[in-house]
Amino acid sequence: MGIFSRQPHDVSGTLTHGGASVRVAEYTSEFGRWDEVERAADPRLRPYVHGYFATSSSLVRLARERHLPAAEVPMVLNFGAAHTRLGEGGAQRLDHAWVTGLQTRYHLSDAVGERRFMVVRFTPLGAHLFLRLSMDSLTDRAVPLGEVDPGIASLVRDRVMVSGEWAQRFDAMEALIGSRVAGCAVPPHIESAWNSLARTWGQMPVGWLAAEAGCSHRQLIQQFRTCVGLPPKKVATLLRFHRLINAVTRSGPADSAIKPYLDGSVPPGAEGTRWADIAAECGYFDQSHFIHDFRSFAGATPSEFLRGIPTR
């Protein structure tokens, strides 16, 4: 879903389904029309999944979207045209369902025509337990769900994708997640270390995490690669960047999803951003370090990002 120029007649609101609050919104712009449906996960599943997001759109113009790294693992269920992911190795066509591991840099995609898809916003630990694989096998990759695990792909197809409405699909997906993670757990010291990093948005010394975990730095790194997908120091940097981008685009709370934005357009609400203040708030106290991390993750300097300059 891209961030488009929103018009005065856009509509948004909240409804209740099965006791859960569901946010709905409708938008129009020069690119076409689209709607969004979103809800948080059941509180009992929050350690495993943040929530669910779905959109239907009819885009009359080609939109190039820039997807920024985030500290979560999205699983996409596609009900419309194929998704084209652009990368250094060329274009990748994605149909049906796929999973994207933690990313260390942005990627681009082209969107046009009729699109309908749903995103399951797994935490890294939740994706590890749901998929039951080492998460570093997905890092910086988007992998069709059928290649990850044909059995899970069949369950998703038969239980989730056959449901008629987005709210019913959210419910079916949540029931499947609950059934797969029940009785499963990651090592307690890894869960504790992840929670400490997530709670502080990466502002927790890795040496302290290893000491609290009662293991060596090397052991902590290896276990993070398995259960999360990246070593703890890189995870901390990613968490700080996630918080920074949400602060700049004013896209919601710091733990909300980072949605892609259109190349060549300024992120909504970004005008007048005081970079120094936001960077310090998010844990950056050295300007060169801040700019380096920003360029690495976003593919642009902060000033280029604000001006909406397309970079590759």
Q: Look at residue 116 and give its three-state secondary structure.
A: strand
What is 62-100 written as a DSSP string? EEEEEEPP-SSEEEEEE-SSPEEEEETTEEEEE-SEEEE
Model confidence over 150-180: pLDDT tens digits? 999 999 999 999 988 899 999 999 999 999 9
Domain positions in the chain are 11-181
Instruction: Please tell me which residue, 61 or 198, carries the higher pLDDT value.
Output: 198
* Least confident residue range of 47-56, 217-226, 230-239, 261-270: 261-270
Q: Which CATH number fits domain 11-181: 3.30.450.20, 2.60.120.10, 3.40.50.300, 3.30.70.1090?
A: 2.60.120.10
**Partners of residue 107 on adjacent β-strands:** 67
Ranked by mean pLDDT, which of 8-12, 26-30, 265-269 comes out on top? 26-30
Model confidence over 237-248: pLDDT tens digits? 999 998 888 777
Q: How far is CA 62 from the centre of its chain?
A: 22
Task: Compute CA distances 248 → 70, 202, 212, 241, whole Å.
Answer: 14, 18, 33, 10
Model confidence over 74-126: pLDDT tens digits? 999 999 888 888 877 788 888 899 999 999 998 888 887 888 999 999 999 99
* Least confident residue range of 12-21, 172-181, 300-309: 12-21
Given this model, what pLDDT does residue 164 score?
Answer: 83
* Least confident residue range of 37-46, 216-225, 258-267: 258-267
Given this model, what pLDDT does residue 281 score?
Answer: 83
Which helix (H) or strand (E) segment is 248 a member of?
helix 232-249
- 102, 133, 116: which is closest to 241 by C-alpha? 102
Model confidence over 25-38: pLDDT tens digits? 888 878 788 889 99
Instruction: Please tell me which residue, 147 or 13, carries the higher pLDDT value.
Output: 147
Say whether pLDDT at 269 is over 60.
Answer: no
Say whether pLDDT at 22 is over 50.
Answer: yes
User: Distance between CA 72 and CA 20 in Å, rounded?
Assistant: 22
- What average pLDDT does this structure show over 287-302? 86
Given this model, what pLDDT does residue 251 score?
Answer: 55
Percent of the chain with pLDDT over 70: 85
Instruction: Please tell me which residue, 83 or 307, carries the higher pLDDT value.
Output: 83
Q: What token pair was written down for 174?
A: 């949540």
Bin 119: left if φ > 0, else alpha if -120 < ψ < 50, else beta. beta
Given this model, what pLDDT does residue 184 score?
Answer: 92
Given this model, what pLDDT does residue 8 score?
Answer: 35
- What average pLDDT does this structure show over 198-221? 91
Q: How would residue 6 be classed by pLDDT, with cut points 50, 70 and 90?
A: very low
Q: How would residue 290 be classed by pLDDT, with cut points 50, 70 and 90?
A: confident
Q: How would residue 130 be classed by pLDDT, with cut points 50, 70 and 90?
A: very high
Say whether pLDDT at 53 is over 80.
Answer: yes
86-101 burial: b if 16+ Cβ within 10 Å, else e: beeeeebebebbbbbb
Q: What is the DSSP letter of 36?
A: E
Say whether pLDDT at 267 is over 90.
Answer: no
- Mean confidence (pLDDT) of the chain: 85
Give the phi and the psi of residue 284 in degrees, each rounded to 5: -100, 120
Say whether pLDDT at 187 is over 90.
Answer: yes
